[in-house]
Structure 1
């Protein structure tokens, strides 16, 4: 077996900075690195970026709890988040309620927070940026 680290990389359609601020305010995310296209040591070829895109995010890393995610603005790719959810596990029902409400603001709830056989609170939603989240309460965060 070899050591490997899997980290989600999220591409936003020109709204990465807005998404990072949203996650900072709703999930207490910490932005560790933010690099704009204009800051690249190797500028993209002329015409490679849409006009005004030099101020968009070329690469960012941010942490939610102990998990590091990466993100950037896309420039022309077809963006669509499908086939996965980010699972967020918290220790208390109060924290689950707060986070679920924050992420649902401007988003769409697929399954409201409710008691399940494995958790006192579990719910699924898609936030305003199209990211699917599963919120789960457990007394043991190692699960």
Structure 2
């Protein structure tokens, strides 16, 4: 990420894509952005600089036609890290085998193997190293 792409340089922020935009607070947002680039082919389009502790308050990724936002926890400002539970981020894709292989190859842990489901599509769940569950679904 070049310095020309940070708010500190007063550049315009990238367009937010998609309807509902997940904003994930993780431990290690910079590492998560790198991981999602490898696992899902995400493109980093914006990043706030890291502080002296290596935390960042905002990273914007484009992932499969939508936006995904990331940040680190800032407990000193009332933003403490919580466990990731009660939701699944779902990627509906054409090449389900390719997406699955890339995600697992990058280090995602299989929670539910990819298989044909009763509704006719192939579906599986993986968990990333940051505790987020992802579903990959397609024909």
TM-score (norm 2): 0.74
RMSD: 2.1
Question: In the alignment, what sits opposite 2:10?
Answer: none
Unaligned runs of at least 5 residues, structure 2: 1-17
**Are 2:68 and 1:64 equivalent residues in the alignment?**
no
Equivalences for 1:123-138 in 2 at 5 Å?
Answer: 123-138=124-139
Q: Structure 2: how far apart are the matches of 1:89 and 1:8?
A: 15
Q: Structure 2: how far apart are the matches of 1:97 and 1:5?
A: 24
Q: Structure 2: how far apart are the matches of 1:92 and 1:130?
A: 24
Question: In the alignment, what sits opposite 2:73?
Answer: 74
Q: Structure 2: how far apart are the matches of 1:65 and 1:79?
A: 26
Deviation at 1:115, TM superposition (A): 1.5
Deviation at 1:124, TM superposition (A): 1.1
**Are 2:24 and 1:10 equivalent residues in the alignment?**
yes
SS at match of 2:90: strand
Q: Structure 2: how far apart are the matches of 1:32 and 1:119?
A: 35
Q: Structure 1: how far apart are the matches of 2:97 and 2:19?
A: 31
SS at match of 2:57: strand
Cα gap change, 1:93 to 1:37, in 2 (>3 Å):
closer
- Give the count of matched residue pairs: 118
TM-score (norm 1): 0.72
Cα gap change, 1:31 to 1:68, in 2 (>3 Å):
same
Cα gap change, 1:85 to 1:95, in 2 (>3 Å):
same
Larger radius of gyration: 1
Unaligned runs of at least 5 residues, structure 1: 39-51, 139-143
